[in-house]
Structure 1
Amino acid sequence: MAVMTAMLSPTAVAAADTASPAPRAAATVTVPAGVTAGVAVFDRQTGTFTEQLNTTMQFRSASVVKLLIALDYLWKRGPAYEIPAGDRAQFNSMLRSSDDDAASDFWVRNGGGAIVDRMSRELKLDNTTRPPDGQDGMWGYSATTAADTVKVYRYLLDTAPATVRELIMGQLRQSTRCSTTDLFDQHFGIAGAFDRPWAVKQGWSGFGDRDDGTCPSDTSARGTEAADVDVTHPALHTTGTVGSGDRSIVVAFTLHPTGTSYGKAYTDIGRLTRSLNVPGAVRPTGTWFGTWSSGVNVRPGATTGNDALTQLPAGVEVLVGCQKEGQTVSVPPYTNQWWAYLPQYGGYVSNIYISSPDNQLPGVPLCRSER
């Protein structure tokens, strides 16, 4: 353990000890009806929290624990932190695309629950725990809190060796829209609420098979529950940094009513995240609208003749930047020739799938000819 001790300086311990003062009532956070949330926003420029809500409440971590898996892996490889070629692709995919298979490989090879024990001890995490006895193989059964997750990011950004910081944060800055293993659309929360620069590590659990057409066809289920926390309700988490120089650390853990669809949870955590006071954040321009139907294609042009870029989670709320006329789409008894440009997807959807009474969306400008 000598390498681990050397990596964690007294400064890191001090930062960790001051990262979670007593929670106060959140000033601006809006929690949608039926949602349980643990939220923290830390402004690194002023050294203060701008939002805190249930910061010490434990949630099952889902894929957020991959941050600890990655840190532990690098800790064992210090001080050079060189990743063998055979591991590099898995390491990157685990962080960038939330690759479950890669996480499971590192988890087994490096001691399972002992990973969480080591990182909790070294980073002074107060309420982050390993999976329960008999379920050690399920890394997502680990439990954590918003306060502890802020500590992890503060360590990465303020104290970790530059190589470690770049190896992890560099991948989070390149988060892919679709996850590798189950192909869920993972650009919710932070990634949907704010313009770049941002870096994210997301988590989701309890939505079963991906059955709403968010990415190319796949039916891999995701099961990541913890023993001593709520394991019944669907969970959706967004964590990371926002703004130039990673100014703000943003963490939002959420639980949703049983039976909540992925698209509804995606929309709810988006609304919660957009309500937060996040210093340094740049909010995208446009108007938010609801959608209906499943498997709605996002296309590079205003025509069905283009191959789909991706598909929307069923019933998700989307940001519309502009609109223009294109190919007429029919969903009897309705027809619509207007198409909405979604800047966060880089493509168009037919307005027939936008929840609005008129074919042309009210208050949305026309797209410039080059769009």
Structure 2
Amino acid sequence: MSRFQMTLRDELPTVGDLVVPPGVTAGLAVFDRRTGQFVQQLDADRAFRSASVVKLLIVLDFLWDRGPDHDVPDADRERLEVMLRSSDDDAASYYWEELGGAAIVDRMAERLGLTHTAGPPATHPGFWGYVAITAADTVRIYRYVLDRAPLPVREYVMDLLHRPTRYGTDGFDQYFGIASVFDADFSLKQGWSGFHGSSGYQSDRAKPVAALDLVSDALHTTGTVGVDDRTIVAVFTLHPSGTQYGKAYTDVTRLTRTLTVPGAVRSAGSWVITTGEGVRVRTAPNTSGGILGHLPSGVEVLVSGQAQGELIDVPPRSSDWWAYLPKYGGYVTNVYVGSGAPKLPGVPVCQ
């Protein structure tokens, strides 16, 4: 389909008017590498449990004395790739044990000058996802990779971060935040913890809340945006325990949309809420089209056009129009998109 330049049809403020959605606790930092200055910060030194963002420290510690060009067995290359591209928890757990657990964090904090990063609480020594980390320290990690790491390490790590899979190995859609808002020039290391079905580091709600919040659901989007990784973005968020993943996904993406990000190209389209659970995205506007993925329940998605196709009748809704989702490269029936009108108002027809 053709590309369309469209106006966002919602009540979010314009870019630069930072808005944290109600009920969300956030810490964020946006750093422009071209100017060497922070563009935006909000509670940038507030500690959050890292979830999978700690995998950045794990891979850097593993490569510290060897680099990817030598002394890395094929099995480790495969394990590191799935850990970074698909946020695999088994790989992280393997290296957490092999490399000394919290000693990884201690070593990397000293090496990179991290000021508020620490190992898991004493009550949870084996939980790598409970490492304490901040948005400001995450910027320091990316700055090390991009500006100070040996070239082979930089190229290896950033190549993997530039090629994230749509879904993590645990089945969670990891294209929220940075990946939903910006066009192709981005890298990602996401994190999620506590949502139903997430593995490896679920919140232990039998434990009291410590200084580091282990109870609220956590969803983080970190990475780089723009040509030559111009801007580093780190957004950490907490959500009330029991929040649906689709709502947290939407809230993090909405927050990311209000950031000022130099060098970014924002994806064009309209943001529309979906209904239903496990809605299929297909290669064509019909049920014969191949399945590209499934949408989290109640998530806001970017729609750039719509096309007529197979009639879908799910009373009280019925429609032969299908919305095109550019971030998925496929279609979803309008029966599960928007307020229920057969045709989405204000959305152009695909050419």
TM-score after normalising by structure 2: 0.92
Report percent identity of matched pairs.
57
1:208 and 1:221 in contact (8 A); partners too = no
Cα distance in 2 for residues equivalent to 1:336 and 1:44? 47
2:253 to 270, 294, 298: 270
- Kindly indicate whether residue 191 of structure 2 is the aligned counterpart of residue 208 of structure 1: no
CA deviations on 1:104-130 (whole Å, 9 max, x unpaired) are 111110101000000001111000000
Match of 2:275? 292
Match for residue 147 of structure 1 among 120, 136, 145: 136
The one-character-per-residue Cα deviations of 1:312-332 (angstroms, maximum 9, x if unpaired) are: 000000111110111011111
Provide the C-alpha distance between the structure 1 equivalents of 2:275 and 2:61, rounded to a whole number of angstroms: 43
d(CA) in 1 for partners of 2:212, 2:19: 23
**Kept after mapping to 2: 8 A contact 1:35/1:257:** yes
Give 3-state SS (helix, strand or coil) of 1:237's partner.
Answer: strand
Matched with 2:176 is 188
Amino acid at match of 2:177: G
Residue 258 (1) aligns with residue 247 (2): no
Letter in structure 1 aligned against 2:173:
D
- CA distance in 1 between counterparts of 2:171 and 2:201 reads 10
Partner of 2:108: 119
Q: How far has the Cα of 1:189 moved from its partner?
A: 0.5
Deviation at 1:57?
0.3
Superposed displacement of residue 44, structure 1:
0.5
The CA deviation at 1:76 is 3.3
* Residues 179, 186 of structure 1: 8 Å contact kept: yes
Query: Which residue is 1:72 aligned to?
Result: 61
**Equivalent residue, structure 2, for 1:235:** 218
Q: Judging changes above 3 Å, is the alpha-carbon distance between structure 1 residues 27 and 312 closer, same or farther for their aligned structure 2 residues?
A: closer
* Number of the residue aligned with 1:52: 41
Correspondence for 2:74 among 72, 75, 85? 85
Aligned counterpart for 1:131 among listed residues 107, 120, 130:
120
Query: 1:13-60, CA deviations, whole angstroms, 9 ceiling, x for partnerless residues?
Result: xxxxxxxxxxxxx96321001100001000001111111000000000
User: Given the alignment, which residue of 202, 215, 218 partners 1:223?
Assistant: 202
Deviation at 1:86, TM superposition (A): 1.7
Q: What is the deviation of 1:257?
A: 1.6
Distance 2:336 2:228 in 1: 38
Task: Give the 3-state SS of the residue equivalent to 1:273 in structure 2.
Answer: helix
Structure 1: runs of 5+ lacking an equivalent: 1-25, 211-219
The 3-state SS of whatever aligns with 1:32 is: coil
Paired residues of 1:63 and 1:140 also in contact (CA < 8 A): yes
Conserved 8 A contact 1:339-1:351: yes
Secondary structure in structure 1 of the residue aligned to 2:31: strand
Over 3 Å counting, the alpha-carbon distance change for 1:96 and 1:78 in structure 2 is closer
Taking the aligned partners of 1:327 and 1:315, their CA distance within structure 2 comes to: 23
Distance 1:42 1:78, change over 3 A: same
SS in 2 for 1:148: helix
Supply the distance in 2 between the matched residues of 1:352 and 1:176 (Cα, whole angstroms).
27
Describe the SS at the equivalent of 1:309: strand
1:40 equivalent among 26, 29, 41: 29
* CA-based RMSD: 1.7
Tell me, yes or no, if the aligned pair for 1:286 and 1:321 is still in contact at 8 Å: yes
Cα offsets for 1:159-214 (capped at 9, x unmatched): 1011111111110000000101x11000110011100110000000010216xxxx
Give 1:307 shift: 3.0
- 1:333 CA drift (Å): 2.2
Q: Aligned pair in 2 of structure 1 residues 58, 44: CA closer, same or farther (>3 Å)? A: same
Cα distance in 2 between the residues matched to 1:71 and 1:228: 27
Distance 1:224 1:249, change over 3 A: farther
Q: Which residue of 2 aligns with 1:3?
A: none
- Which runs of structure 2 are paired with 1:308-323 in the superposition (5 Å)? 308-323=291-306
Distance 1:347 1:222 in 2: 32
Which residue in the other structure is 1:341 paired with? 324
Cα deviation, 1:116-165, whole Å, max 9, x if unaligned, reads 00000111100000012352221111010000000000000011011111
**Counterpart residue type for residue 230 of structure 2:** R
Measured in 1, the distance between the counterparts of 2:152 and 2:72 equals 11
Please state how far the C-alpha of 1:363 moved relative to its aligned partner. 1.0
Contact 1:206 1:224 in 2 (8 A): yes
Match in the other structure for 1:5: none
Between the aligned partners of 1:222 and 1:342, the Cα distance in structure 2 is: 31
